[in-house]
């Protein structure tokens, strides 16, 4: 697997900063979607922003789905391995340690970030998962004692119901991850209040 397996943007951290945001967009987005948001959270952080390789009727995704809210587990597993291999290749190419990676993933991007967590204990360092689902229910999670995770969710999210989010929180905690929850009432959308909560969580890393 090479760094050419995902179309991506890479910017080095500035001013001695060590953080590199791993940006994973939602359905229909691309590698530019979350860049400004990342810069608002930490202007000096580096950026590794990926474009999903799956084309769903002209919309970029990181893995296939069978219907709205129904993930294709085989595709998810396959693409998770590809992303992990890409991150390993990118860390060599750009000379960073994967412990510098802080995920910022939204919706489809948050789901594949969750799948990385479910499969690997060293894919990244910490993560902000915005409106994620439970990626898989058929795997034994690794020990995530070193992981701190922020989950942003909507009490009235029509795509990711609250029960789904609470199950994900429980699974991560059972794997010893530290999880901070934020609940809003803006459906599946990202609100300013949610982003402010994510930013405050990040500042306390």
Active-site residue list = 107, 157, 188
Give the residues across from 196 on adjacent strands.
Answer: none
* Length of the chain, in residues: 205
**Residue 190: which of 36, 1, 12 has the closest Cα?**
36
List the structure tokens of 85. 């291999």
Strand (E) or helix (H) holding 10: strand 8-11
From CA 94, how far away is CA 10, in angstroms rounded?
Answer: 8
51 contacts 31 by C-beta, under 8 angstroms: yes
Would you state the structure tokens that stand for residue 179, as one six-digit string? 């999880």
Half-sphere exposure of residue 99: CA atoms within 13 angstroms, side-chain side = 1
- In angstroms, the CA 139 to CA 174 distance is 13
Q: What is the DSSP string of 49-96?
A: EE--SEEETTEEESS-EEETTEE-HHHHHHHHHHHHHHHHHHHHHTT-
């Amino acid at each position: 697997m090479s760094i050419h397996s995902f179309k991506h943007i890479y910017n080095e951290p500035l001013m001695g900063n060590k953080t590199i945001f791993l940006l994973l967009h939602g359905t229909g987005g691309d590698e530019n979607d979350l860049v400004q948001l990342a810069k608002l959270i930490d202007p000096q952080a580096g950026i590794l922003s990926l474009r999903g390789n799956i084309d769903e009727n002209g919309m970029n995704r990181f893995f296939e789905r069978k219907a709205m809210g129904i993930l294709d587990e085989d595709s998810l597993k396959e693409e998770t391995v590809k992303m992990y291999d890409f991150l390993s290749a990118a860390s060599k190419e750009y000379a960073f340690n994967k412990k510098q990676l802080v995920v910022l993933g939204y919706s489809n991007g948050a789901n594949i970030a969750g799948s990385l967590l479910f499969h690997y204990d060293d894919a990244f360092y910490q993560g902000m998962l915005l409106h994620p689902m439970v990626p898989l229910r058929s795997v034994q999670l690794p020990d995530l004692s070193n992981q701190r995770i922020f989950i942003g969710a909507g009490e009235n999210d029509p795509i990711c119901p609250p029960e789904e989010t609470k199950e994900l929180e429980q699974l991560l905690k059972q794997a010893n991850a530290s999880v901070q929850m934020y609940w809003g009432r803006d459906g599946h959308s990202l609100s300013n209040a949610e982003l402010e909560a994510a930013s405050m969580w990040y500042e306390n890393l």
